[in-house]
């Protein structure tokens, strides 16, 4: 396959200097510390609504379905029992990534989720951890391709196919027993583990380009090259004001949003392309990238952390976005800075892993919410859904809804 070369858009340090953590139009409403918990037996975090390749969130025979990164709560594990005999939920929560599995939930209401269990049986996935991706409903036969990240050893973008089966009382999944590895970081466009032991390569999000009809995928990566060798030059700086030329150790932050194109609509063979957006000298993580197509524009969203920003720039945990008239750019940072929806300064870790849906609703999970003094409450559950409005290169927070409210945009009736 041959594709026109494109020049990645740089998210510059000058852009990031425009981040305003106190702008109410880009700040997520406060989450109350008395939030409800979906489950007393599992933590959930990254949430992946079942959708079609154009981004439409779907229900199946009236059942909404979400996939989540999930880990058992371990209140009786000795390693999480303090000297006073009490369960240390905070340490358990921090340890969750090492035993993350993808599970599913279903609901008639788009909330009030019922736990369905594991998507893949133990041992199906070829690596020890199942990290985030995207479930795609392929047809009205109920076939689903789950694109996800196989982690440790290495990091591989993969997919596994199964089927959703509905009844009057619930939803089950079948299949999901043959994992197909698709590609890994190449070292040319995207940093490999050999180039950086803490490299990022994960979070596949496939989509059909509404213009050319081809199947593409965006994902998180780091710009290729040995760790510490990247230069933060004039193009990475942007139009910084006097006094902001010193970048400190910013050469270590080299996040990017990657893209690949499939050979055909089956999505079994892929070609890696140069990144769409790079953040060299700005941020090291551009997690869970995904698109919303609206008003003939490409809205490219990603999530990032305050702690992954480079020296001299900062921003809240939350959603960042870029907009273009064309798939391959150039992209402009939303709201001039890139910030679309950040946590409030008083609760900087309240939510994360936001997913912006085409109807403007944004779902996320609760991480931790302050309570009294320096204490805080762990979440591991769905956060309140919020709505944002997109107007050109600007965005505005509009409303807040119930916890875990993820309504379908269209119902798919399965063929008999």
Of 19, 103, 107, the closest CA to residue 61 belongs to: 107
Catalytic residue among 92, 130, 236, 287: 287
Q: Residue 94 burial (CB < 10 Å; 0-12/13-18/19+)? A: exposed
pLDDT of 3 reads: 54
Which pLDDT belongs to residue 5? 80
pLDDT, position 106:
98
| Choice among 15, 46, 92, 145 that is catalytic | 46
> Hey, how many other C-beta atoms are within 10 angstroms of the C-beta on 6?
16
pLDDT tens by residue, the chain, 416 residues: 445 589 999 999 999 999 999 999 999 999 999 999 999 999 999 999 999 999 999 999 999 999 999 999 999 999 999 999 999 999 999 999 999 999 999 999 999 999 999 999 999 999 999 999 999 999 999 999 999 999 999 999 999 999 999 999 999 999 999 999 999 999 999 999 999 999 999 999 999 999 999 999 999 999 999 999 999 999 999 999 999 999 999 999 999 999 999 999 999 999 999 999 999 999 999 999 999 999 999 999 999 999 999 999 999 999 999 999 999 999 999 999 999 999 999 999 999 999 999 999 999 999 999 999 999 999 999 999 999 999 999 999 999 999 999 999 999 999 97
Residue whose tokens read 């807040």: 400
Is 46 annotated as catalytic? Answer: yes
Task: Report pLDDT for 4.
Answer: 56
Enumerate the β-bridge partners of residue 169.
none
Q: How far apart are alpha carbons 277 and 362 in whole angstroms?
A: 22
Token pair belonging to 91 = 């340490």
In whole angstroms, give the CA distance from residue 152 to residue 129.
7
Query: How far is residue 370's CA from residue 344's CA, in Å, rounded to a whole number?
Result: 12
Q: What is the pLDDT of residues 156-176, one digit of tens each?
A: 999 999 999 999 999 999 999
Has this prediction a pTM greater than 0.95?
A: yes
CATH assignment of 7-410, among 2.115.10.20, 3.40.50.2000, 3.40.50.300, 3.90.550.10: 2.115.10.20
> In this structure, are residues 198 and 228 in contact, taking their beta carbons and an 8 Å threshold?
no
SS (H, E, C) the chain: CCCCCCCCEECCHHHHHCCCCCCHHHECCCCCCCCCCCCCCEEEEEEEECECCCCCEEEECCEEEEEEEEEECCCCCHHHECCCCCECHHHHHHCHHHHCEEEEEEECCCCCCEEEEECCCCCCCCCCEEEEEEEEECCCCCEEEEEEEEECCCEEEEEEEEEEEECCCCEEEEEEEEEEEEECCCCCCECCCCCCCCCCCEEEEEEECCCCCCEEEEEEEEECCCCCCCCCCHHHHCCCCCCCCCCCCHHHCEEEEEEEEECCCCCCCEEEEEEEEEEECCECCCEEEEEEEECCEEEEEEEECCCCECCCCCCCCEEEEEEECCCCCCCEEHHHCCEEEECCCCCCCCEEEEEECCCCEEEEEEEEEECCCCCEEEEEEECEEEEEEEECCEEEEEEEEEECCCCCCEEECCCC
* pLDDT number for residue 416: 72
> What are the residue boundaries of the structural domains of the chain, listed by start?
7-410
- Looking only at the bridges linking them, the beta strands covering 270-280 and 9-10 are parallel
Q: Which of 119, 152, 116 lies closest to 134, judged by CA?
A: 119
Q: What CA–CA distances, in Å, run from 65 to 40, 109, 268? A: 20, 10, 24
């Amino acid at each position: 396959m041959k594709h026109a070369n494109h020049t990645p858009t740089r998210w510059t340090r000058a852009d990031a200097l425009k981040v305003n953590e106190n702008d109410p139009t880009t700040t997520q409403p406060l989450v109350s510390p008395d939030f409800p918990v979906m489950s007393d037996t599992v933590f959930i975090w990254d949430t992946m609504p079942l959708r079609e390749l154009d981004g439409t969130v779907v229900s199946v025979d009236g059942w909404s379905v979400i996939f989540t990164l999930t880990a058992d709560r371990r209140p009786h594990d000795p390693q999480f029992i303090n000297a006073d005999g009490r369960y240390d939920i905070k340490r358990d929560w921090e340890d969750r990534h090492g035993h993350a599995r993808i599970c599913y939930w279903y609901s008639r209401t788009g909330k009030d989720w019922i736990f369905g269990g594991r998507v893949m049986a133990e041992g199906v996935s070829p690596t020890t951890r199942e990290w985030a991706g995207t479930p795609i409903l392929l047809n009205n036969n109920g076939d689903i391709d789950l694109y996800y990240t196989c982690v440790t050893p290495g990091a591989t973008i993969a997919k596994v196919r199964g089927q959703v089966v509905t009844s009057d009382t619930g939803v089950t999944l079948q299949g999901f027993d043959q994992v197909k590895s698709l590609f890994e970081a190449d070292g040319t466009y995207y940093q490999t583990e050999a180039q950086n032991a803490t490299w990022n390569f994960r979070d596949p999000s496939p989509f059909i380009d509404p213009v050319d009809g081809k199947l593409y995928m965006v994902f998180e990566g780091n710009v290729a090259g040995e760790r510490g060798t990247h230069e933060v030059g004039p193009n990475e700086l942007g139009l910084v004001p006097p006094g902001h030329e010193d970048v400190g150790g910013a050469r270590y932050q080299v996040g990017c949003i990657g893209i690949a194109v499939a050979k055909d609509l089956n999505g079994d063979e892929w070609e890696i392309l140069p990144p769409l957006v790079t953040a060299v000298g700005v941020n090291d993580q551009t997690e869970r990238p995904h698109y919303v197509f609206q008003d003939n524009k490409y809205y490219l969203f990603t999530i990032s952390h305050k702690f992954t920003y480079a020296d001299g720039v900062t921003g809240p945990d939350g959603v960042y976005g870029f907009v273009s008239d064309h798939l391959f750019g150039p992209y402009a940072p939303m709201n001039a800075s890139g910030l679309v929806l950040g946590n409030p300064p008083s609760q900087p870790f309240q939510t994360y892993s936001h997913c912006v849906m085409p109807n403007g609703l944004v779902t996320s999970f609760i991480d931790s919410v302050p309570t009294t003094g320096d204490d805080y409450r762990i979440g591991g559950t769905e956060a309140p859904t919020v709505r944002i409005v997109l107007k050109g290169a600007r965005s505005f927070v509009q409303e807040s809804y119930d916890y875990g409210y993820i309504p379908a945009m269209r119902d798919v009736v399965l063929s008999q």
